[in-house]
């Protein structure tokens, strides 16, 4: 086998072409993953993990690449990142106010997506359309623009009464998804949430809440030769060597014939990558 890369794993970069173009970066190396479809790859975990923030060695990765001390202190690892309606920036208790100002007190988008069915979610406006490609969505539609992460979280929490906020990752990997009319769903949800939005505008008069009525639906195709019949995953902690034929890429998963590897889950793991010649 020929070694083609060595370094620490980080989430794959995406470009919204048809199909999506995936790049996996190792230090100064850039591997074009689409070109490896159909080839047998070997990915070996070298039993070294370094915190993506402070670079110290750690036996376990927290929150996709941090050591435990950084996981405990960084604002980017706070629980409000997963539950933005719990944002406490305004209370003056943000772990890193400057980080919060840069990342949370910025325009956010409430969106509908279709990875395995209708889903509501939020993202910073700078992450459109990257967020949806990372999720493995086949469709997405921005529906509301707001001036802060906190407001987007409040609206998402309300919309969860009528739309899911989770993706069935097994169905997503097997590509079991049907096209949805997201414009129809947007209009339905606007009717249901209109009174709540009016209440928010009164409660937060200095904030901005804009309903997006003219946005176009984003559509995504993923590079594939086939889709797996069963969605199993490799665990680098238990099986430090993966040797398998790459058949598809979707979300942040490399999909092999025998199982799938979630690249993002193993952020900061030191690995070597080989390809059969």
**Which of 102-106, 111-115, 185-189, 216-220 shows the lowest per-residue confidence on average (mean pLDDT)?**
102-106
Domain coverage including residue 191:
108-219
Task: Answer yes or no: is 101 within a domain.
Answer: no
pLDDT in tens, 111-122: 999 999 999 999
With CA atoms as reference, report the closest residue to 105 among 153, 157, 141, 156.
Answer: 153
Question: 3-class SS at 277?
Answer: coil
The conformation of residue 258, written as its DSSP 8-state character, comes to: S
Task: Answer yes or no: is 209 within a domain.
Answer: yes
The pLDDT value recorded for residue 87 is: 86
Domains in the chain, number: 2
Are 114 and 213 found together in one domain? Answer: yes
CB 208 within 8 A of CB 145: yes
Are 198 and 233 found together in one domain? Answer: no
Are 233 and 195 found together in one domain? Answer: no
Are 140 and 208 found together in one domain? Answer: yes
Largest CA distance in the chain: 64
The pLDDT value recorded for residue 91 is: 83
With CA atoms as reference, report the closest residue to 209 among 162, 157, 150, 161.
Answer: 150
Task: Answer yes or no: is 235 within a domain.
Answer: yes
Are 131 and 215 found together in one domain? Answer: yes
Evaluated on CA atoms 179, 184, 185, 186, the torsion sign reads: positive
Are 41 and 141 found together in one domain? Answer: no
* pLDDT band per the 50, 70, 90 thresholds, residue 178: very high
Using CA atoms, how far apart are residues 186 and 2, in angstroms rounded to an integer?
Answer: 49
| CA angle 77–144–86, rounded 5-degree value | 30
Are 199 and 135 found together in one domain? Answer: yes
């Amino acid at each position: 086998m020929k070694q083609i890369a060595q370094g620490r794993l980080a989430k794959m970069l995406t470009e919204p072409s048809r199909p999506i173009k995936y790049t996996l970066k190792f230090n100064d190396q850039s591997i074009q993953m689409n070109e490896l479809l159909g080839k047998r790859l070997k990915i070996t975990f070298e039993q070294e993990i370094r915190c993506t923030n402070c670079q110290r060695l750690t036996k376990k990765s927290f929150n996709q690449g941090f050591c435990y001390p950084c996981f405990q202190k960084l604002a980017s690892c706070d629980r409000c990142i997963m539950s933005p309606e719990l944002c406490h920036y305004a209370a003056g208790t943000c772990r890193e106010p400057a980080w919060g100002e840069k990342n949370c007190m910025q325009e956010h988008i409430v969106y509908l997506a279709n990875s395995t069915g209708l889903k509501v979610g939020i993202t910073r406006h700078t992450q459109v359309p990257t967020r949806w490609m990372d999720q493995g969505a086949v469709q997405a539609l921005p529906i509301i623009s707001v001036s802060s992460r906190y407001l987007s979280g409040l609206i998402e929490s309300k919309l969860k009464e009528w739309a899911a906020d989770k993706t069935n990752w097994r169905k997503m990997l097997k590509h079991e998804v049907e096209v949805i009319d997201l414009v129809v769903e947007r209009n339905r949800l606007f009717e249901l949430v209109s009174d709540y939005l009016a209440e928010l505008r009164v409660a937060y008069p200095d904030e901005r809440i804009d309903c997006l009525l003219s946005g176009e639906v984003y559509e995504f195709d993923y590079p594939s030769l086939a889709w797996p019949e069963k969605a199993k995953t490799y665990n680098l902690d238990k099986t430090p060597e993966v040797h398998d034929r790459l058949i598809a890429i979707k979300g942040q998963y490399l999909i092999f014939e025998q199982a799938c590897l979630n690249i993002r889950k193993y952020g900061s793991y030191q690995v070597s990558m080989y390809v059969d010649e």
